[in-house]
Chain A
Amino acid sequence: MDFLNALVALLNFVVVPATAYGAQLALGALGVTLVYGILRFSNFAHGDTMAFGTMATILFTWGLQAAGISLGPVPTALLALPAGIAAAALLVLGTDRAVYRFYRRRKANPVILVIVSMGVMFIYNGLVRLVIGPGDRNFDDGARFIFTVRDFREATGLDEGVGLRTSQAITVITAVIVVAVLFWFLNHTRTGKSMRAFSDNEDLALLSGINPERVVMVTWLIVAALATVAGVLYGLDKSFRPLTYFQLLLPIFAAAIVGGLGSPLGAIAGGFVIAFSEVTITYAWKKVLEYLLPQSLEPSGLVQLLSTDYKFAVSFMILVVVLLFRPTGLFRGKSV
């Protein structure tokens, strides 16, 4: 019984939240890794692309709510998501036209593009704050829980319970669908294969008659969709605040690099590695250990390895270790 209680507590405080967070990071990292694979630079504006897409979705959600449209137990934001994606797509395509294309034509060094993307990041950042403000926005409506901790306890008779929030379930389901569609697209469509070919060997792709501008355009469309979906899921799960999205850049980059830059499979694995490390290291294990250990060994402190304030340090540590010992990442991406 104690063991079961420990397991359920672990599920409730570590596994469920980390899985949802991991799915959000994985979607974010997929966007970063696609830009890296096709356009060959690290896109620092990705976090703020997510923020912009989420902001647009929130605005459309408000519009739908004002019109009295809702999805019942499911958040209205899911209905506004396609419009948010379209807005983000317009933004990144416009940016590509106005900024990135210029440097691409000059065959600029990737490091220059990284700095350029930082400039873009600041502009997006300001744009989002101007439109929606720097504060917290909670746009999650609909049912809050699929089942609560209390429901679970009453149903099983255990001391501990596990709750599942609607946003967490939606996150995981959406992420699975998005990833499945993306992989089908990359592996089975002509355009998807041409993107992989372009990422693999640019010169040979050009020789084969693949149009680079088209590949770049499709990539930005996919990146806008991934960023908006990731941002909206994160916002539903926690809340929307522009600064938080900017800070998400670090775990997202850590996930993409840990998995291997340029490798979509790696981005997903990396997302979960980072999320689970972050949550397990900042979780107070006292409760779980109380169930598992004999009374005499019970911990007196919280057994929290790192305060949640330092959660970004976890991404940094993993990043440093991976870059030292396996610079190409888990799935043999490109070396940074």
Chain B
Amino acid sequence: MSAGNGTGPYGGRGNNDASIVKPGSGSSTVAAGPGGDPRPARGTRPFLEGRGMTGGYGRGPDILHDCTIAVNPGEIAVIVGPNGAGKSTAMKAIFGMLDLRAGTVVLDGTDITALSPQDRVARGMGFVPQTGNIFTTMTVEENLEMGAFIRRDDIAPTMEQVYDLFPILRDKRRQQAGELSGGQRQQVAVGRALMTRPKVLMLDEPTAGVSPIVMDELFDRIIEVARTGLPVLMVEQNARQALEIADRGYVLVQGANAHTGTGPGLLADAEVRRSFLGG
């Protein structure tokens, strides 16, 4: 509970809409172009990387333009940006939910660009969609069991780990997931994804629609997950709070990398603050 987003220099709550671009400041940011090298720090090879991704949904127009997102082993990477910047699209592209016209996705040194989302799950990617991310008519425990469907070994230890991480789920294990509160549903959703014992966890706006208090708790849990050594890639609306816990932050604008850096670095960047964080 105490792991830190309330203690940082920008710890104030209530800036949930901070990622919406302030009127009039958008064009100058785009013109500023990529700030810094989108690729992670030299020397370490990213565990998961979508490199130079260009593409859109179906036959529609391109939404992503030469967009690069990478997660290092054991780190939290966060994608932020104004509404409609293609944050979720970038994550879906990495997960194989849209066809790329250019670019590659590399997981742990293997090119997985051609794999279907299901195959990527089998390769160790855990994905929590923004909506429809739990089986509402099934109990919490059944949700976790279904998460581990591809596994044939004993899933009980993993389930214990998930219950240790989200103690509330242990109390509600026999309850239908659809009856839980928003924050508890998100915990079920993350827990379900963890049941495959993924090598990388991808969260699409895990705090959408939950109260600030629940949001803080969810972030704490995500930090705990990352501390176990599991790299986390996350799309977030709450840019300020997300960047505080991020080892690496990506600011997307109109489907392209606008700024890249460490979370605290981006928070300190005057231009990023002016354009995305409300000063």
Binding site for B on A (CB under 8 A): 190, 193-194, 196-197, 199-201, 203-210
Contacts and interface: CB of A to CB of B under 8 A. Distances in A.
B122 A209 contact: yes
Given A193-B145, A203-B132, A204-B132, A209 B137 contact: no
A82 B135 CA distance: 34
B129 A197 contact: no
Given A201-B132, A203-B129, A208 B138 contact: no
Interface centre among A193, A194, A199, A209 (most CB of B within 10 A): A209
A210 B135 contact: no
Contacts of A193: 138, 142, 145-146
Contact of B150 (A196, A204, A209): A209
Contact of A207 (B127, B137, B145): B127
B117 interface: yes
Given A203-B129, A203-B132, A204-B132, A210 B138 contact: no
Given A208-B147, A208-B149, A209-B118, 18 more contacts: A194-B146, A194-B149, A196-B135, A196-B138, A196-B142, A197-B146, A197-B149, A200-B136, A201-B136, A203-B132, A204-B129, A204-B132, A204-B133, A204-B135, A206-B117, A208-B121, A208-B150, A209-B196
Contacts of B149: 190, 194, 197, 208-210
A276 B86 CA distance: 57
B135 A197 contact: yes
Contacts of A208: 121, 146-147, 149-150, 192, 196
B8 to A, nearest CB: 34
Nearest to A205: B146
Nearest to A212: B118
B134 interface: yes
Interface in B27-64: none
A70 to B, nearest CB: 45
Chain B, interface size: which category?
Answer: 20 to 34
State the main secondary structure of chain A at its contact with B.
helix
A203 B196 CA distance: 16
Interface in B125-164: 127, 129, 132-138, 142, 145-147, 149-150
A194 B142 CA distance: 9
Contacts of A210: 146, 149
Contacts of B117: 206-207
A209 B121 contact: yes
A139 to B, nearest CB: 40
A208 B134 CA distance: 11
A17 to B, nearest CB: 34
A205 B146 CA distance: 8
A204 B134 contact: yes
For the complex of A and B, the 8 pairs showing the least CB-CB separation, nearest first, are: A209-B150, A200-B135, A197-B146, A208-B149, A200-B137, A209-B149, A208-B146, A197-B135
A200 B121 contact: no
Interface centre among A193, A196, A201, A208 (most CB of B within 10 A): A208
Contacts of B145: 190, 193
A197 B136 CA distance: 9
A196 B143 CA distance: 11
B97 to A, nearest CB: 10
A196 B137 contact: yes
Interface in B179-227: 192, 196
B57 to A, nearest CB: 15
Nearest to B148: A208
A96 B134 CA distance: 29
A194 B133 CA distance: 15
Nearest to B145: A193
Nearest to B135: A200
Interface centre among B122, B145, B149 (most CB of A within 10 A): B149
Contacts of B138: 193, 196-197, 200
Interface in B78-133: 117-118, 121-122, 127, 129, 132-133
Given A193-B146, A194-B149, A207 B134 contact: no
Contacts of B146: 193-194, 197, 205, 208, 210
A207 B142 contact: no
